[in-house]
Amino acid sequence: MVKKILVPIAFSKYSRGILDYAAEMAAPFGAELLVVNVINERDLEAVNKIASFGYKVDVEHYLKTMKNEKREELKKMTAEMTLPDDKVSFSFRVGDPTNELLKLVIDKDVDMVIMGIKTHDIRHIFVGSVAERMFQKCPVPIVSYRGDELSERLRRKIVKHRGKE
């Protein structure tokens, strides 16, 4: 039985769809949604690098600003969600995204992960680098969310490829 679903979001254009889809999956089970955003440690290294050039920016301020902005965005995304408030929690993690997600799967006794697959890195055109590593290493089932736009694009590629056969 599915009791806890981990939902990593990156606040991309797909995040709202991922959350809605996860809520639809959780409702029949009465499952809890553990929504998480992982702030990549590489971003903090970049902030430190910029600060070393004399710019007035620091990691603590950056994290505080990012968390506040993301909390507000999350409120908007979850406003219409029909799950009870006690079934949805949100947290931030800082570190390597894959490692942080895997820790959560174990530490929170997660039964399923629902995540997006889209990335801007051309090397991972079909499966994002974090999603790819999660599929390789995660001990629980992962459901990969595909929004309508991505789904249609993938369908067209398959049809085009079949036409060449």
What is the arithmetic mean of pLDDT over 48-73? 82
Residue 157: C-alpha distances to residues 19, 125, 150 (Å):
26, 13, 11
Provide CATH code, domain 4-163: 3.40.50.620
pLDDT at position 55 is 75
Grouping H, G, I as helix, E, B as strand and the rest as coil, residue 145 is: strand
**Range among 29-38, 78-87, 126-135, 154-163 with highest mean pLDDT value:** 29-38
Q: Residues for the chain: how many in total?
A: 165
pLDDT at 75 over 60: yes
Domain layout of the chain by residue ranges = 4-163
| Percent of the residues in the chain that have a pLDDT greater than 90, as a whole number | 45
Task: Convert the pLDDT of each residue in 107-163 to its tens digit.
Answer: 999 999 999 875 544 444 444 588 889 999 999 999 999 888 878 888 888 898 888
Closest CA to 112 of 38, 31, 11: 31
Over range 38-67, report the average pLDDT: 80
Q: Residue 144 is encoded by which pair of tokens?
A: 């990969």
* pLDDT at res. 127: 44
pTM to 2 decimals? 0.82
**pLDDT of 44:** 75
Long-range Cβ contact pairs of 82-89 (< 8 A, separation 24 or more) = 82/23, 82/27, 83/23, 83/26, 83/27, 83/33, 87/26, 87/30, 87/31, 87/32, 87/33, 88/23, 88/32, 88/33, 88/35, 89/32, 89/33, 89/34, 89/35
Q: Retrieve residue 133's tokens.
A: 């590593």
Residue 128: per-residue pLDDT: 56
Q: Both tokens of residue 51? A: 């600060």
